[in-house]
Amino acid sequence: MTSKLPNSAPVVIIGGGICGVSTLYHLAKRGVNAVLLERRKIASGTTWHAAGIVGQLRDSSSQTELGKYTARLFRDLEEETGQATGYKQNGTINVALSHVRQEQLLRTHDHAARMDVESFILPPAELAEKWPWILTDDIKSALYVPSNGQVNPLDVTTALSKGARAQGGLLFEHTTVTSLVVRDGKVSGVETDQGTIATDKVLLAGGMWSHLFAKAHGVTVPLHACEHYYIVTEPMADLPSDQPILNISEERTYWKEDAGKLLIGGFEAQGKAWAKDGIPSSFEFDELPFDMEQAEPELELMFARMPALSGMGIQTFFCGPESFTPDGRPYMGPAPELEGLFLATGMNSNGILNSGGVGLTLAEWLIDGAPSRSMSPLLASRAHPFQANTAYNQERAAESVGFHYGLHWLGHQVLSARGVRRVPLHDQLTKAGAAFA
């Protein structure tokens, strides 16, 4: 892309995944010519292989705001940049198989109205009409959100980089940031394998690489990579390109049209951490071996839900890594341990749908000192220093994969990586019958 590194920059962004590139784009829109550094090619980390679903209704208003803005941005980006993004508003349908999930759908329907996102409860007959390939007899109700959609993650990242560069943003591929330069407790630059850039503001948008990079500088970014699976069928002649995306939370599966084929993914109740000994330095557009045993429970449910699948060819069994955090939420905003360092990382498989909002919000943080919308549940400052513990993150992130389709009860307790931190009276409290939360 650009050839010579500048000596200084108002902002340096580490990582050319969709979140870093979106921030470069939004900074450029505000007249700030930031520099983005990517160790390989843009989108070659996690972004390129995402399923590209853009759902707006998340479990907090803050994250819903990110998704809403992303959906708006993706609608207009192709026209602005001339780069196709594959974005379409084919809508999503979430179904409930039990009364508990039915209650959850009704609450989501309410949340949608409060957040100004149109949604409809679909009668079972209409669902069966919209999704004739699956068994629907046991489905109690369905929630349809027409303004949700899907995008091609690689193309949309390219469009954002094109839009950023057209407005003065600088993007350097094959440039690895080896360390931050810190002076008097503040960021004063970055060292790269191509030279040094002076800056007092750095955004770490390094996806699954962020934890160890930050840790090397005494900054806590709790996350770890876990495996994520989907399958892609052979082409289906009768599958319309505007087929709504389907989510079956109780079966932990999502279903979407993908270039005339059906892409079906699953989020296991208990995920599997990847790269416990570190991410291979050669990682670029890589995929991981498909662990049939790990994916089996969701695969069985897919085949039971759509009997015709058994007679069809499955063209792709895909597995790729994605970062998950201890509480299933991203880390955004200033890192409290190091002045001048900002974070946009730990996307928990929502990085495509978050990306527009992440870029907009981080640009405000970097330019104005604060975002114009509340990001309380997503603040980087919620991390505790003990969460810099890499073994803890490996264990907990695997459980976090299950949060994706889990029920988010108030007071829900996690099961993994317990006892990492203990009070001095721990043993006496245990003997006295204490319960720990």
Ligand X SMILES: Cc1cc2nc3c(=O)[nH]c(=O)nc-3n(C[C@H](O)[C@H](O)[C@H](O)COP(=O)(O)OP(=O)(O)OC[C@H]3O[C@@H](n4cnc5c(N)ncnc54)[C@H](O)[C@@H]3O)c2cc1C
Binding site for ligand X (CB under 6 A): 14-20, 37-40, 44-47, 49-53, 176-177, 205-209, 213, 228, 230, 320, 322, 345, 347, 349-353
Neighbours of 324 (CB within 10 A): 31
Closest to ligand X by CB, 287 vs 427, is 287
Report CA torsion sign: 403, 232, 123, 57. positive
Torsion region of 433: left, alpha or beta (phi above 0 gives left; psi -120 to 50 gives alpha): left
CB 142, min distance to ligand X, A: 19
Query: Is the Cβ–Cβ distance between 236 and 311 less than 8 Å?
Result: no
CB 206, min distance to ligand X, A: 4
Closest to ligand X by CB, 17 vs 141, is 17
Closest to ligand X by CB, 357 vs 371, is 357
Of 277, 274, 316, 322, give the one whose Cα is nearest residue 294: 274
CB 250, min distance to ligand X, A: 19
Closest to ligand X by CB, 95 vs 208, is 208
Q: Is 110 helix (H, G, I), strand (E, B) or coil?
A: helix
Contacts with 48 (C-beta within 8 Å, 6 or more apart), sequence order: 153, 154, 285
Closest to ligand X by CB, 141 vs 152, is 152
CB 226, min distance to ligand X, A: 9
Q: Tell me how far apart the alpha carbons of residues 226 and 211 are, in angstroms, rounded to a whole number.
A: 13
Query: Is the Cβ–Cβ distance between 344 and 204 less than 8 Å?
Result: yes
Closest to ligand X by CB, 278 vs 433, is 278
Q: Tell me how far apart the alpha carbons of residues 282 and 315 are, in angstroms, rounded to a whole number.
A: 26
Dump strand ranges (E) for 23-71. Answer: 35-37, 53-54
CB 81, min distance to ligand X, A: 18
CB 346, min distance to ligand X, A: 8
